[in-house]
C-alpha cells in the first residue's frame, strides 16, 4: 500500500487536499516518476556504452545548457553556446580551487554570472556522487559560487526581501537560520521519491528566500542535486517553454500546495529523458546540432506567437483584459509536439482581467485528430488550445476545457508564410484569418463569454 500524501510530506510546510481525488493524483505522479527514473538509468547506461570517449565534452555542453536556462529565467541574457565558449576559455580557472576561483571572478560581473553558476553545478555534481545530502554550510558554499564577487555571497540575508510579482512574505532575516535548519534536518531524514524530494527542497528554499540574491538559481541547483544523486536526468526548466507554468506552480507552493510544482518537474524530466533517448543524442549535443532538421521550421514559426500575443493584448484592452505571455516552446519541445507527444505541451499566455486575475489560458499542444482530418497531415506547427479558469479552487487542473461555447475556438494554428497565418478550428469548421482579425475575433469572444 502506497503511503498517504500526509505521510510523504510530514515535516514539510506542504500538504494536499487529502481527499481520494488528491491521493489518486499523488499516486499517479509517483508512478510516473518511478517510470522516468528506470528509463533514465537505462538511457545513462546506453550513453556510457555508446559515447564514453566524449562524456567530458557532453557534460560541459549539458551544464552550459543548465546555466544558460537558469540565468535566462532570472533575466540574464546567456545562450548555451556563450556559456560553453566561456567555460572552454577559462578551463584552468574552472578546475582551480574554490578559493582561487572566487577571487578571480570578483573583477568581472558578466563572467561570474555564467562561470560561478557553472562551477556550482559542477561541484554539486561531484558531491552528488558521494550519495550524501547537502548540509547547511555546503548550501551556503554553493551560494558563494553562484554570487561570487558580491559581498553577500555565501551569507544569509541581513535585510528583508521579497519575490518580484508575488504577495508572498519571505522569512525574516532573524528567522532564516532556524528555517534553513528545519529544511536541512528534513532533507537528511527524507526517504521519499527523489523527484518529490527535489520539488520540496526547491519550493522550500524559494519560500524561505534565505539569500539577498540568487535564491532561484540555488533552488534549481539543489533540485538537480537531489535528482542526479538518485539517477534522474538534470531538471532543465526552459525559460521559454516552462517559465509561466513554473512561476504559477511556485506561487501555489507558497500557499502550501506542492502538487502543481511536482507535476511540472516530473513532466520536465520525462521530456528530458525522451530527448536523451534519441539516437546519437550525445554526439548531437556536443556538436551543437541537436534537432537541426527542424530548425528551419522552428525559426520560421517562432516569431508568430509573439506577434499574435501583441495583437491580442491590444484588442483585449478596450474590454478590460490583457494578455500575459507565459512562454514559448523551445526547439526540443517543438520537436515533441511535431511527433504528437504531449510532453512538449506548455503554457502560451494567460488572459487576465482588470483585477489581475487569470481568467483564460492558451496553451501549446500537438495537432488534434479533428484538425488533421480537416487539413490533412501536412501541418508542421504546434496547435494552441483554449482553457478557462476553473471555478473549483480545489480542482486538480486550475484550467478546464471550454464546452458548449461556439464563439471560443477549439484550436488555433499559427502558420508562417501564409497570407492569412492564423487558422481557427471550431468543431469541424476551419477558417483562416489575418493576425489582426483573429486577435479581434478572440478578444470579442472572450469578452462575450465573461459577460455571462
CA distance 161 to 371: 49
Instruction: Catalogue the active-site residues.
Output: 209
Q: Is 244 annotated as a binding residue?
A: no
101 in Cβ contact with 148 (< 8 Å) = yes
pTM (2 d.p.) = 0.77
Contact 285, 64 (CB under 8 A): no
Domain boundaries, the chain: 5-286, 293-450
| Residue 247 labelled as part of a binding site | yes
Place of cell 505521510: 7
Q: Is 108 annotated as belonging to a binding site?
A: no
Per-residue pLDDT in tens (0 to 9) along the chain, 452 residues: 567 778 888 889 887 767 788 888 889 999 999 999 999 988 888 877 766 656 777 788 888 888 889 988 888 888 888 888 888 777 777 776 666 665 655 555 666 678 888 888 888 888 888 777 888 999 999 999 888 878 899 999 999 987 776 667 889 999 999 999 999 999 999 989 999 999 999 999 999 999 999 999 999 999 999 998 888 988 999 888 899 999 999 999 998 899 999 999 999 999 989 888 887 777 777 665 444 456 767 877 888 999 999 999 999 999 999 999 999 898 889 989 988 999 999 999 999 999 989 999 999 999 999 999 888 765 678 999 999 998 877 677 788 888 777 889 999 999 887 888 999 999 989 999 999 999 999 999 999 988 76
What was the pLDDT predicted at 291?
A: 43
State which CATH number among 3.40.50.620, 3.50.50.60, 3.40.50.460, 1.10.3290.10 fits the domain covering 5-286. Answer: 1.10.3290.10
219 is in an annotated binding site: yes
Give the Cα separation of 74 and 217 in Å (integer).
8
Residue 337: per-residue pLDDT? 92
Q: Give the span between the Cα atoms of 201 and 13, in whole angstroms.
A: 11
Residue 325 three-state SS: strand
Q: Determine if residue 376 is labeled as part of a ligand binding site.
A: no
Amino acid at each position: 500500500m502506497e503511503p498517504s500524501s500526509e505521510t510523504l510530506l510530514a515535516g514539510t510546510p506542504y500538504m494536499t487536499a487529502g481527499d481520494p481525488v488528491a491521493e489518486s493524483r499523488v499516486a499517479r505522479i509517483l508512478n510516473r516518476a518511478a517510470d522516468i527514473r528506470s528509463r533514465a538509468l537505462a538511457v545513462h547506461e546506453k550513453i556510457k556504452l555508446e559515447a564514453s570517449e566524449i562524456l567530458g565534452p557532453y557534460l560541459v555542453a549539458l551544464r552550459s545548457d543548465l546555466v544558460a536556462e537558469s540565468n535566462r529565467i532570472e533575466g540574464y541574457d546567456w545562450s548555451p553556446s556563450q556559456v560553453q565558449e566561456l567555460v572552454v576559455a577559462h578551463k584552468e580557472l574552472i578546475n582551480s580551487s574554490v578559493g582561487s576561483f572566487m577571487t578571480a571572478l570578483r573583477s568581472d560581473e558578466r563572467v561570474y554570472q555564467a562561470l560561478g553558476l557553472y562551477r556550482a553545478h559542477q561541484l554539486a555534481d561531484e558531491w552528488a556522487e558521494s550519495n550524501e545530502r547537502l548540509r547547511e554550510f555546503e548550501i551556503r558554499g554553493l551560494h558563494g559560487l553562484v554570487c561570487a564577487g558580491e559581498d553577500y555571497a555565501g551569507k544569509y540575508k541581513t535585510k528583508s526581501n521579497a519575490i518580484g510579482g508575488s504577495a508572498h512574505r519571505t522569512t525574516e532575516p532573524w528567522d532564516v537560520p532556524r528555517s534553513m535548519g528545519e529544511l536541512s534536518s528534513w532533507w537528511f531524514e527524507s526517504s521519499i521519491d527523489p523527484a518529490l524530494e527535489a520539488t520540496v527542497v526547491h519550493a522550500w528554499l524559494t519560500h524561505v528566500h534565505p539569500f539577498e540574491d540568487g535564491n532561484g538559481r540555488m533552488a534549481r541547483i539543489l533540485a538537480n542535486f537531489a535528482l542526479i544523486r538518485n539517477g534522474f536526468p538534470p531538471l532543465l526548466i526552459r525559460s521559454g517553454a516552462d517559465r509561466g507554468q513554473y512561476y504559477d506552480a511556485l506561487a501555489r507552493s507558497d500557499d502550501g500546495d506542492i502538487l502543481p510544482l511536482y507535476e511540472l518537474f516530473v513532466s520536465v524530466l520525462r521530456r528530458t529523458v525522451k530527448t536523451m533517448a534519441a539516437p546519437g543524442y550525445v554526439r548531437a549535443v556536443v556538436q551543437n546540432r541537436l534537432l537541426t532538421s527542424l530548425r528551419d521550421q522552428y525559426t520560421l514559426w517562432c516569431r508568430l506567437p509573439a506577434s499574435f500575443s501583441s495583437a491580442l493584448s491590444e484588442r483585449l484592452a478596450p474590454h478590460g483584459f490583457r494578455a500575459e505571455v507565459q512562454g514559448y516552446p523551445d526547439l526540443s519541445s517543438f520537436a515533441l509536439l511535431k511527433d504528437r507527444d504531449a510532453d512538449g505541451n506548455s503554457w502560451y499566455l494567460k488572459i487576465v482581467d482588470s483585477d489581475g486575475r487569470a481568467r483564460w489560458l492558451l496553451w501549446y499542444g500537438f495537432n488534434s485528430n479533428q484538425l488533421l482530418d480537416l487539413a490533412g497531415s501536412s501541418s508542421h506547427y504546434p496547435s494552441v488550445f483554449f482553457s478557462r479558469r476553473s471555478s473549483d479552487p480545489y480542482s486538480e487542473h486550475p484550467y478546464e476545457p471550454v464546452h458548449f461555447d461556439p464563439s471560443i475556438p477549439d484550436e488555433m494554428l499559427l502558420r508562417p508564410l501564409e497570407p492569412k497565418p492564423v487558422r481557427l478550428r471550431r468543431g469541424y469548421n476551419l477558417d483562416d484569418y489575418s493576425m489582426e482579425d483573429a486577435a479581434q475575433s478572440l478578444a470579442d469572444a472572450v469578452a462575450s463569454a465573461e459577460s455571462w
